[in-house]
Amino acid sequence: MLIYLPIAEMTVAVEEIFLLGFFVGFVSGVFGVGGGFLTTPLLIFMGIPPAVAVGTQASQLVASGTSGVIGYWQKGYVDFYIGTIMLVGGIAGSVFGIIIFQLMQYLGQIDLVISLLYIILLGGVGGMMLFESLFSLSKAKKRSMKSEFNRFKSPSMISKLPYKIRFPRSKLYISAFVPGGIGFVSGFLVSTMGVGGGFLLIPAMIYILGMPAYLVAGTSLFQIVFTSAFATIMHAITNQSVDILLALFLIIGGVIGARFGVIASKRVNGARARVVLALIVLAVCTKVAMSLFLEPGQIFVIEI
């Protein structure tokens, strides 16, 4: 069934959008990641304008984040205090991201910026994840990733930063700049790339902040919901690039895909699944890199 997207101003096949949402939902169900890092590039490969892909993805993050955070909230696994400090940083980061986005759009280099950011982020995270999961596979110990992370102590430089605040829930006494800074990076990623950056945020919160592992996922989701809601407003106002119809089909596909993903996840080995996820991340990274570094079929690009 073909449908005309009012904001993207193009006709797409509903099935394609639905399948894309399903695939990403499945991946996120299996691995417990947001999957935004897959949606945005896949939408762009489908011909959706990058600005619309990023703007719409921000609103989709609100949906997936909400469903996640409610679960953690009910179990009491959200530190609202540190989450709010991260949120302040997240809003600043997303304003900064929107400004960069607009500037690059004006200069005609937004595709380049999005591609470069994806290559750096996906390459780095995918590589690290592959290394870590292969390492834990070879050691063949049934330790979860979270306990692996917890062995690391926060670097000493961070403890010297000013404006220290006590966070009783996370049992931390740390400068507000640290969670604020992590939030800033997350906000920047949401508004420029349409990714929640969970797979960057979660390690950062464990390694750098030293938060208890059980609070990390819920707190980062709490922060992402509000940051991406803010990014949605900014994108809708400045670029008018949030397509609610596109979001609708992505969300429906994602919901169904996630259910299947959760079922599938009960039958897979954690470390092996992470190897697969790392390979998917690296594959998307390679595809983006190829489009940037190989001679393109289309040397000329039109902008209206």
Partner 1 sequence: MSKLKQNFLVMFAFLVGWGLPVQAMAQDKDIARKGDPLITQLSSDYIDVSAGFGGATIELFGDRSDADTEVAVVVEGPRREITIWKKARVMGAWVNRYFVSFQSIPVYYNYAISDVDFISNNNDFSVLHNVGTQSIFKEDKIEKSGSVEDVSVFTEELIKKRMQTGVFPEKPAKIEFLSPHFFRVSFKIPQSVPTGEYKIHTYLLKEGEVIDRAVQALSVKQVGLNAYVLRVAREHSFLYSLGCILFALLSGWFVSALRVKV
Q: Which residues bind partner 1 (CB under 8 A)?
A: 1-4, 6-7, 9-11, 59-60, 62-68, 70-71, 108-109, 111-112, 116, 225, 229, 232-233, 235-237, 240, 242, 244-245, 247-248, 251, 255, 258-259, 292-296, 299-304
- Shortest spacing between CB 68 and partner 1, in angstroms: 8
CB of 92 to partner 1, least distance (A): 19
Q: Are strands 2-5 and 10-13 parallel, antiparallel or unpaired?
A: antiparallel
Residue closer to partner 1 (CB basis): 131 or 293: 293
Q: Smallest distance from the beta carbon of 234 to partner 1, in angstroms? A: 8
Q: Is 140 left (phi over 0), alpha (psi -120 to 50) or beta?
A: left
Shortest CA distance to 80 belongs to which of 224, 217, 222?
A: 222
Q: Could you tell me how far CA 168 lies from the centroid of its own chain?
A: 27
50 residue type, one letter: P
Task: In angstroms, give the least distance from the CB of 206 to partner 1.
Answer: 24
Q: At closest approach, how far in Å is the CB of 214 from partner 1?
A: 18
Judged by beta carbon, residue 55 or residue 126, the one nearer partner 1 is 55
Q: Whose Cβ is closer to partner 1: residue 112's or residue 283's? A: 112
- Cβ proximity to partner 1: between 76 and 155 the closer is 76
DSSP 61-99: HHHHHHHHHHHHHHHT---HHHHHHHHHHHHHHHHHHHH
Q: Which residue, among 118, 98, 112, 116, has the nearest Cα to 40 in the 3D structure?
A: 118
Nearer to partner 1, 129 or 229 (CB): 229
Vertex 89, ends 85 and 90: CA angle to 5°?
110
What is d(CA 98, CA 43) in angstroms, rounded to the nearest whole number?
20
| Bridge partner residues of 292 (DSSP) | none
CB of 26 to partner 1, least distance (A): 14
- Cβ at position 1, least distance to partner 1 in Å: 8
Which residues on adjacent β-strands are paired with residue 164? 175
Long-range contacts of residues 36-39, Cβ cutoff 8 Å, at least 24 apart: 36/60, 36/61, 36/193, 36/194, 36/195, 36/196, 37/118, 37/121, 37/122, 37/193, 37/195, 37/199, 37/281, 37/284, 38/280, 38/284, 39/194, 39/250
Query: Among residues 114 and 172, whose Cβ is nearest to partner 1?
Result: 114
Instruction: CB nearer to partner 1: give 128 or 262.
Output: 262
CB of 91 to partner 1, least distance (A): 14
Cβ closest to partner 1, residue 72 vs residue 199: 72
